Amino acid sequence: MYTELNSILNTTPDSFTQGEFVLLSDRKSDASFLIHHFLSLYLRARCKVWFLGLVQSFNHYSAISQRLGVSLVQAKEKGQLVFLEGLNESLSVLIPQETDTTSQAMGFLSDPAVGLKSLYEFVRSSVTSSGGGEEEADGAEEWGPPVLLVDDLSVLLSLGVSVGAVLDFSHYCRATVCSQLQGNVVMLVRCDGEEEEDDGDDEGSERLLKGLTHQCSLTLHVQGLPTGFCRDIHGQVEVCWRRRQGDGQYTQKKLFQYKVHDKGASFFAPGTSSAVL
């Protein structure tokens, strides 16, 4: 958890906006440090967290969270963290075993054309069935509002899922977690723009980013410095807040430069800010 970023977002583990859809994105840079930030933030806030790890293993996130002062192993053992390890789930679909008891959350891999209904059903059934029963019977701790983290949505495009299906998935997740349960959703999407010869995938990621931007209330877009490489500054983050105001929408943007350290990140404001009604 990065305290400087919390200050920028006016957020702490004791005080954060509920019912919010946060979109993280990057271009020719790496926004994964923001996923680690929000993961540690919500665990410290005692939220019940569902993490769809589509690109990295549990051990990867656990090692980094440990440096940020959060134990994913303990959170998982206590029932505070539910981690879907997409890599293992994918193997169970592609190479089924007779004794396989894993969920069918990644069932779309056998037929991407059917969309992400199985993945959404995993999220919906897990989130709506939590909070009560076992925890109360065992006298365990009660958790705060639910949080869904996804890293990262753009990988679904390379697996053959259409942009429309991914947008439908995010819409239904937002309706269930944010609107119905007053929890939060954090999703990451990547638009590298490096593979110029493969315009189809690039256009798909661009359309996905635009579609998700219309759904979210807060975006953090990470990109490299326009001046090129700098040893003391790793890149810049554009933060954009979207709030409904009357019959319209109020949008405020601020630009910050950042540098990631082993146990945190520093943010520097170059003084750029804009607001649009």
**What CA–CA distance (Å, rounded) separates 190 from 226?**
18
Report the percent of the chain where pLDDT is more than 90: 53
DSSP state at residue 178 = I
Most confident segment among 23-32, 97-106, 179-188, 201-210: 179-188
pLDDT of residue 232: 79
pLDDT tens track for 195-227 = 444 444 457 889 999 999 999 999 999 998 887
Q: Is 131 exposed, middle or buried (0-12, 13-18, 19+ CB in 10 A)?
A: middle
Q: How confident is the model at residue 135 (pLDDT cuts 50, 70, 90)?
A: very low
Q: Is the dihedral of CA 101, 102, 106, 109 positive or negative?
A: negative
Q: What is the pLDDT of residue 136?
A: 44
Q: What's residue 197's pLDDT?
A: 43
User: Stretch 157-181: mean pLDDT, rounded?
Assistant: 94
Give the residue from 6, 76, 7, 63 showing the smallest Cα distance to 38. Answer: 6
- Mean pLDDT across 35-49: 95
Report, as an integer, the average pLDDT of 89-106. 62
Kindly tell me if the per-residue pLDDT of 84 is higher than 50. Answer: yes
Output the DSSP codes for 210-259: HHHHHH-SEEEEEE--TT---SS--EEEEEEEEEEETTEEEEEEEEEEEE
8 A C-beta contact, residue 21 and residue 178: yes
Domains, in order of start, for the chain: 15-90+103-218 (3.40.50.300)
Residue 159's pLDDT band (cuts 50, 70, 90): confident
Residue 273, pLDDT > 70, answer no
Q: How far is residue 161 CA from its own chain's centroid?
A: 18
Flag whether pLDDT at 264 surpasses 80: no
Average pLDDT score over residue span 244-265: 79
pTM equals 0.87
Q: Which of 157, 249, 149, 244 is nearest to 203 (CA)?
A: 157
Identify the pLDDT of residue 93. 64
The yes-or-no verdict on residue 56 having pLDDT over 80 is yes
Query: Which of 24-28, 153-157, 234-238, 273-277 has the weakest average pLDDT?
Result: 273-277
Assess whether pLDDT exceeds 60 at residue 274.
Answer: no
More confident residue, 20 or 275: 20
- Higher-pLDDT residue of 248 and 59 is 59
Structure-token pair, residue 2: 């990065």
Helix (H) or strand (E) run with residue 94 in it: helix 86-94
More confident residue, 231 or 40: 40
